[in-house]
Amino acid sequence: MRRITMALDLVDDPNLIAEYEAYHAEVWPEIQASIRDAGVTHMEIYRFGNRLFMLMDVDDTFTFERKAEMDAANAKVQEWEALMWKFQQAVPGAKPGEKWVMMNKIFELY
């Protein structure tokens, strides 16, 4: 089991942030299924202001390449992703077109 952490910014607009949270209170079942099918066993998203932090626990079948291929072949995922771009903006330093960016772990307490 691996843990992946990522960051993303939302458009800094209280109405859009509220709408984004409303969508995530009832994520479409097809989206939830696609996440699980890609090998994600647990996912959490946190927000502070307009910054999001996502934590994913993934199994041995998960790769970003496999997830991208599965997403490209899934019309409902494409619809969801197009809708989410209304609310999302890249964090400083992200590559063009990149949404969620990997975070580097700098500390762990056992």
Residue 70 C-alpha from the chain's centroid: 15
Q: Is residue 25 assigned to a domain?
A: yes
Q: Would you say 61 and 1 are in contact if contact means Cβ atoms under 8 Å apart?
A: no
Say which CATH number the domain at 49 has: 3.30.70.1090
Render pLDDT for 7-29 as a digit per residue (tens, 0 to 9): 999 999 999 999 999 999 999 99
Q: Cα(31)–Cα(29) distance, rounded to whole angstroms?
A: 5
75 falls within a domain? yes
- How many domains are contained in the chain? 1
* Inside any domain, residue 61: yes
Domain interval for residue 51: 2-102
Q: Could you give the C-alpha distances from 11 to 20, 50, 54, in angstroms and in order? A: 10, 7, 17
Closest C-alpha to 8, from 58, 61, 45, 57: 45
Domain-located, residue 107:
no
Query: Model confidence over 36-90: pLDDT tens digits?
Result: 999 999 999 999 999 999 999 999 999 999 999 999 999 999 999 999 999 999 8
Distance CA(61)–CA(41), nearest Å, equals 11
